[in-house]
Every structure is written in structure tokens, then in C-alpha cells.
Amino acid sequence: MILNAIKGAYPSLQQISKDLLIAADAVFERGSVLVADTTTSGTETITTWKVAQASDAKKASIAYFALQGHTDYQAKMAGALSSTAGYAPKISALACTMPMEIETDMFSGDDLKPGDALTFGANGRLVKAGSGDTVVLQVTRGPYVRWSNNSDSAGEADFRQGANVTVIRGMTMFIPA
């Protein structure tokens, strides 16, 4: 649920972002990796967000980093009704093509180190890229622990907000499969 822009053009007018609907039943967090998915039903063509999966690593898909999670009330209120998607929340996401250094906890693997290339993994997480995978992030600092005010506290919800989380830092990039 962490996505911090350490360096780069966010938030600003120069940011490269996109606002799209996402399936009402999609489960994702702030920082989850998304890809745009276009479907056609009859004469209507609609582009929506899809939570990235490992199968997207072999496609030349631009990654986007979600700025809201699936429980965000503003995203739900900004949603719309579509004949192909039903009711869907609308969220914003930052493109991996925008040069910036980010900090995120949406990764899998504790052996990541500076210089490692990352790609799409399961359920919107980043994983180490293999041969022929689309690369969307290069690690600049391996996993480390930091405090996050918006993380769930362990059993002390009435007394405090936040918890320690493990994050990585990386530079966004786009090297298609």
C-alpha cells in the first residue's frame, strides 16, 4: 500500500498519469502495478485498468502504479456505469514511462539488490525480470524497513495508526518484451 515518489515530476502538471475505470471486484492497493486493458462489446470499446499478472511480463505493456486502492471512497465516488464493465470505480495511476524514483512495498522477493530489473508479477506486484520480460523498474535500493503512517497496525487499531513495512526503491523505465 506504499507508493512514494522520491524524485521526479509527481505531483505536478508534468506527470504522466491516466484515469480509467477498474472492475468493481478488483483487489489492489496504492502502488499496485496496473495495465490498460481494452475490450469491445458490440459497438462499444472501453479501456479499463487490469491488475497486472505474471502473464503480462511477456507482453509489451506499459505499467502504471495505482494512486488509490480498491477501498478508496473517492475512487468509488468517481466511478461510472458501463455496459461492458458494470459499475466500476475510477482511479488514477502513474506511468512507468515517466522518469522518477519511487518507493513501494508492492514487490515479491527478498533477494532484490540495486541494478536488478523488475517486471510484472502476480496480483500487481513487481518481481525480478527474466529473459524476454518487459522491464518497468530498476532497483536503486534493496528491501529495507521503514515506518508507514497509513499501514495497518498489529492489533492496536484504537490506539495508533501505522506500522513498519518493507519497501524497495527503484527508477521507473520501460523496456518492452
> Contact, 172 vs 100, CB < 8 A?
yes
Mean pLDDT of 121-147: 96
* The pLDDT of residue 153: 60
* pLDDT tens, residue by residue, 102-111: 999 999 988 9
Mean pLDDT of 98-119: 95
* The pLDDT of residue 17: 93
Kindly list the domain boundaries of the chain, sorted by start residue: 3-175
Q: How many residues does the chain have?
A: 177
Mean pLDDT estimate for the chain: 88
| Phi and psi torsions of 176, nearest 5° | -65, 155
Picking from 150, 22, 37, the residue whose alpha carbon sits closest to that of residue 76 is: 22
> Contact, 49 vs 91, CB < 8 A?
yes
> Comparing 97 with 81, which gets the higher pLDDT?
97
Mean pLDDT of 51-80: 90
Is a pLDDT exceeding 70 seen at residue 82? no
Q: Give the CA count within 13 Å in the CB-facing half-sphere of 89.
A: 21
* The pLDDT of residue 102: 96
* pLDDT tens, residue by residue, 142-174: 999 998 887 766 555 556 677 889 999 999 999
Is a pLDDT exceeding 80 seen at residue 112? yes
Range from 72-76, 86-90, 97-101, 150-154 carrying the lowest mean pLDDT: 150-154
How far, in Å, CA of 169 to CA of 159, rounded?
30
Would you say the C-alpha torsion 89, 91, 96, 102 has a positive or negative sign? negative
